[in-house]
Structure 1
Amino acid sequence: MKGSRKESLEERLQRLDAELAKRRTEDNADDVAEEKAAESRKGYAAAMKLSSEFVAAIIVGALLGYLVDRFAGTAPWGMIVLLLLGFCAGVLNVMRSAGMVASPHPVDRMAGRDAAGKTNTNKDGA
């Protein structure tokens, strides 16, 4: 009688171990899926940020161009020039946000230093 109890206990322990192993693998799979989803959300957020910065710069350039043309009577040149400037500003903003172009440090801009860190000492700016 003791032998059958011990055998049934061992069988139950083996089934329990198998069930626990199965649940652990399911939990690990859920964790991996959640990590992939979080990474996907981060990528989507970055894409929305970059695209909205680009579009906003173009729209601002176009609106300013329209206003210049409207009040100065320079149609269509104000719109063309400021639309192109807005496009360039949008590209620069996207490149800065993506980390491809570093924005100059405010101290360097105020001190008159160039990108290599050298101070511009010539009076003629060369």
Structure 2
Amino acid sequence: MAQDGQDDLEARRKQLESELGALKRKKGTGDRETPKTTDSDRREMSKALKLSSEFISAIFVGFILGYLLDRFVGTSPWGMIGFLLLGFGAGILNVLRSVGRVAEPEDRIKRDEN
């Protein structure tokens, strides 16, 4: 009984292998062919790294400023909480400006003058 199930599975596996081989031949892709990275892929990866580092650095600066305020003024933990939220907001604003969703402040001023 168990052997019948194994034979059925083996037959199904061979059938699927042959169908997969036929599809690969039809598409013209080999087994060892790997996708090539293009310059646009690298550009997008570097842009993502830049955006994530800008966001994390803004949060980190907010944390450090809040920590220093709490340390010297003695407002623990409110300074850290406040500046951490400000850093988070600044990080989001920096990312949106880099992507082009929010205009730079100088651009808005120039448009208002015209």
Q: Which runs of 5+ in 1 are unaligned?
A: 1-32, 110-115, 120-126
Unaligned runs of 5+ in 2: 1-35
2 CA distance for matches of 1:107 and 1:92?
Answer: 15
Alignment of 1:35-74 (within 5 A): 37-74=38-75
How many residues get paired?
79
Aligned position for 1:83: 84
Match of 1:103 in 2: 104
Measured against aligned partners, the alpha-carbon deviations of 1:38-92 in whole angstroms (never above 9, x if no partner) come to: 0100000000000000000000000000000000000000000000000000000
Length-normalised TM-score, structure 2:
0.63
The runs of 4+ residues in structure 1 deviating greater than 4 Å are none
**Structure 1 Cα separation of the partners of residues 61 and 82 of structure 2:** 12
Distance 1:73 1:52 in 2: 30
**SS of 1:117 mapped into structure 2:** helix
Superposition RMSD on alpha carbons, in Å?
2.2
Instruction: Find the structure with the greater CA-based Rg.
Output: 1
Distance 2:71 2:97 in 1: 32
In structure 2, distance between residues paired with 1:107 and 1:61 = 26
Q: State the 1:108 CA deviation.
A: 2.5
Fraction of identical pairs, as percent? 53
Choose between structure 1 and 2 for higher RCO, CA contacts under 8 A separated by at least 6 residues. Answer: 2
Residue matched to 1:8: none
